[in-house]
Amino acid sequence: MALLPLKLALVATALLLASLAGKRGGHAVAGIVSGLPMVIGPVLGLMLLEGQTAQVRTIATAALLCFPGMLLHALVFAALARRGWGWPVCIGAAVLAFTALATLLLAWRWPLPVAAALGLLLPSFTMRALQRQAQRLQAELQRSGQPTPSHGAVPLPPSELLWRVTAAVALAATVLAGAPLGLPDAVSGALLALPIAGSVLPCFTLPRHGALATLRLLAGFARGLHGMVSFTLVMVFALPLLPPAAAWVLGVLAAALAAAAAQRL
């Protein structure tokens, strides 16, 4: 609990960076940044500084096992947004879908090699599915003569930025405060796998910019998750072999390289 304010400050910084990236580069860029391990990475790094190496590996393993739930979260939000539902229904259904699938996957405890293989493959399929949905929706809007959001910079009033950061910190406080309550490390891993930025940003994007912008954001989020899965893979498999600091730095480098490679491809 002593480090909780620092963890929340890191969450606020991550959300701020993702929002500013979107302001400069567009909704897809904001999604890519929000999909990176900008919350779980610093949190696990702080835990390693506290000497909790075994707990970090358990949490990273649980996050890797629950990874398909993050993708389902994005797909459910996108599907409902495209059908005209408001953000409360979209985020409620997305979180329920994530929780149900994450609970099932944790109970199943499926083999790590299978989880790793799916973690490396599924983000690309999810990204392409969301991009196709965005293209179809854009074509529908153009046929009906409705305006479509640009791919470039996005206006972001300071008041909205403040509300985004506040919502992210509130959600993160709910998630991170569960650790001192005696929850198992596997459950903590599942909670950290809940996409905080991937939940907050779509809820602000949908009412302000519409479903098409939200689909672009979530497609970028799926692309950024290549970095997330690479980071958790390194934490799971490198921690038993390397000093904790070296494993964490290697995980961050793997996340950055994976996200860059996904962007180029």
pLDDT in tens, 20-61: 888 888 888 888 888 888 778 888 888 888 888 888 888 888
CA–CA separation, 158 and 149 (whole Å): 20
Q: Which of 38, 40, 65, 14 shows the shortest CA–CA distance to 259?
A: 38
pLDDT in tens, 226-261: 999 999 999 999 998 999 999 999 999 999 888 777
Query: In the structure, what pLDDT confidence band is assigned to residue 180 with cuts at 50, 70 and 90?
Result: very low
Q: Which of 55-64, 167-176, 215-224, 228-237 has the lowest mean pLDDT?
A: 167-176
Contacts of 157 (CB under 8 A, 6+ apart): none
CA–CA separation, 106 and 189 (whole Å): 10
DSSP the chain: -TTHHHHHHHHHHHHHHHHHHHHHH-HHHHHHHHHSSTTHHHHHHHHHHTT-HHHHHHHHHHHHHTHHHHHHHHHHHHHHHHTT--HHHHHHHHHHHHHHHHHHHHHHT--HHHHHHHHHHHHHHHHHHHHHHHHHHHHHHHHTT-----SS-----HHHHHHHHHHHHHHHHHHHTTGGGT--HHHHHHHHHS-SHHHHHHHHHHHHH-HHHHHHHHHHHHHHHHHHHHHHHHHHHHTTTS-HHHHHHHHHHHHHHHHHHHHH-
State the pTM of this model: 0.88
pLDDT in tens, 82-123: 999 999 999 999 999 998 998 888 887 778 888 889 888 899
Residue 263, pLDDT above cutoff 70: no
Q: What is the pLDDT of residue 198?
A: 82
